Amino acid sequence: MSIIARNLTWGVRGRTIVSDVSLSVAPGETLGLIGPNGSGKSSLLRLLAGLRQPQSGGVEINGRDIARVPRRALAREMAFVRQDSATDTNVTVRDVVRLGRTPHRSALSGWTAADEQAVTMALERVDMISHRGQSWQTLSGGERQRVHIARALAQSPQVMFLDEPTNHLDIHHQIEILRLVRRLDLTSIIALHDLNLAAMFCDRILVLREGATVAFGTPRTVLTESLLREVFRVEAKVNGAERPHIVFCPGQEFGSGPTVRQWDDEPSGQGFRALPG
């Protein structure tokens, strides 16, 4: 399923968060969104998934404007995995994955064989089938994230959006989750923090700074030493032949410009909570 975004602009209270971003994703491709904190990765992801309406510009999926497609129909084609999505309710793993069938079921329709199959397959895909009766509250962070991905898979989507799916996971689980997403054979768009993971797992990468596109292309062409210095304000060496591998050099001074502050202090995960909508 192809995705085309044209001139997306979105902001809140006069502050522009996403500014004139255009992109296209081919069917089956994995696109990584990277950028410093507060660069608008999460907001762009939500605009692409139709969870927010852009102030101008639009998103097309297979040639249809998503603003004109009802929410439920959209949810049958694309799934969204949020970071740290949590609940206090005492639900089982199976209950959570069953939620993924919501857009496929009408108000009072029964649980069909197709629903059951989708749930079982999703659980198998993320290797959580043996945990299906377990309480969600007792799962580890990595297991929870896998269950969320299973829930998204149960929607039988063709496009998957993931917002920092590896947040708070140890390196083993980070790689495991991304390898899983790659294997899924879906069109996927992932907002990522870790540049090396983005380089390893994405076909193309879009770099954002202050809501605007800085670079868009293959990891090889995008992740250069000069871009890392300019956008991320770090000195680094980029090695590797096919896929770049970044070695950070924390000892060195920043090469260019006055170094005032390294990071905007947006507390991660709260960015969208403070905003209406």
Partner 1 sequence: MKPAHIREGGGFGVLLALALGLVVLSFAVALATAIGDYRIPLLTVLHAVTNGLGLSTIEIPRIESSIVWDMRLSRALVAALAGAGLALCGAILQALLRNPLAEPFVLGVSAGASTGAVAVIILGIGAGGLSLSMGAFAGAFAAFALVALLSNGATSGPNHTILAGVAASQLFNALTSYIVTTSGSAQQARDVMFWLLGSFGGVRWPDFYLLLVVVTLGLALCLWIARSLDAFTFGDEDAAALGVPVARVRLLLFGLTALMTAAIVSMVGAIGFVGLVVPHVARYVVGPMHLRLLPACAVIGAVFMVLADIVSRVIVPQQTIPIGVVTALVGVPFFAIILYRGRPRT
What residue type is 204 in one-letter code?
A: R
Please identify which residue in 33, 79, 197, 231 interacts with partner 1, judged by CB under 8 A. Answer: 79
CA distance 150 to 70: 23
- If one asks whether residue 272 binds partner 1 (CB under 8 A), the answer comes out as yes
For the CB of residue 88, give the shortest distance to partner 1 in the complex, in Å. 7
Site string for partner 1, 17-46 (x = CB under 8 A): -----------------------------x
CA distance 44 to 42: 5
- If one asks whether residue 75 binds partner 1 (CB under 8 A), the answer comes out as yes
Site string for partner 1, 218-257 (x = CB under 8 A): ----------------------------------------
Q: CA-CA distances (angstroms) from residue 117 to 48, 125, 142, 148?
A: 29, 12, 24, 17
For the CB of residue 166, give the shortest distance to partner 1 in the complex, in Å. 18
- If one asks whether residue 69 binds partner 1 (CB under 8 A), the answer comes out as no
CA distance 102 to 227: 43
Count of chain residues binding partner 1 (CB under 8 A): 38
- If one asks whether residue 13 binds partner 1 (CB under 8 A), the answer comes out as no
CA distance 116 to 191: 30
Q: Name the nearest CA neighbour of 49 among 205, 180, 190, 192.
A: 190
CA distance 89 to 97: 14
How many Cα atoms are found within 13 Å in the side-chain-facing hemisphere of 119?
21
Site string for partner 1, 82-121 (x = CB under 8 A): x--xxxxxxxx--xx--xx-xx-x-xx-xx----------
- If one asks whether residue 67 binds partner 1 (CB under 8 A), the answer comes out as no
* Sheet strand arrangement including 64-65: 15-25, 3-12, 56-61, 64-65
SS3 212: strand
> Could you count the other beta carbons within 10 Å of the beta carbon of residue 134?
15
Compare residues 89 and 256 and give the one whose CB is closer to partner 1.
89
For the CB of residue 257, give the shortest distance to partner 1 in the complex, in Å. 37
Compare residues 103 and 211 and give the one whose CB is closer to partner 1.
103
Please identify which residue in 63, 251, 258, 277 interacts with partner 1, judged by CB under 8 A. Answer: 277
For the CB of residue 61, give the shortest distance to partner 1 in the complex, in Å. 15
- If one asks whether residue 155 binds partner 1 (CB under 8 A), the answer comes out as yes
- If one asks whether residue 131 binds partner 1 (CB under 8 A), the answer comes out as no
Compare residues 19 and 155 and give the one whose CB is closer to partner 1.
155
Phi–psi pair at 210, nearest 5 degrees: 50, 45
For residue 261 the two structure tokens come to: 């502050």
Are β-strands 159-163 and 245-248 bridged in parallel, bridged antiparallel, or unpaired?
A: unpaired
For the CB of residue 45, give the shortest distance to partner 1 in the complex, in Å. 11
CA distance 80 to 13: 26
Judged by the rule CB under 8 A, the positions of this chain that interact with partner 1 are 46, 49, 51, 70-76, 79-80, 82, 85-92, 95-96, 99-100, 102-103, 105, 107-108, 110-111, 137, 155, 272-273, 276-277
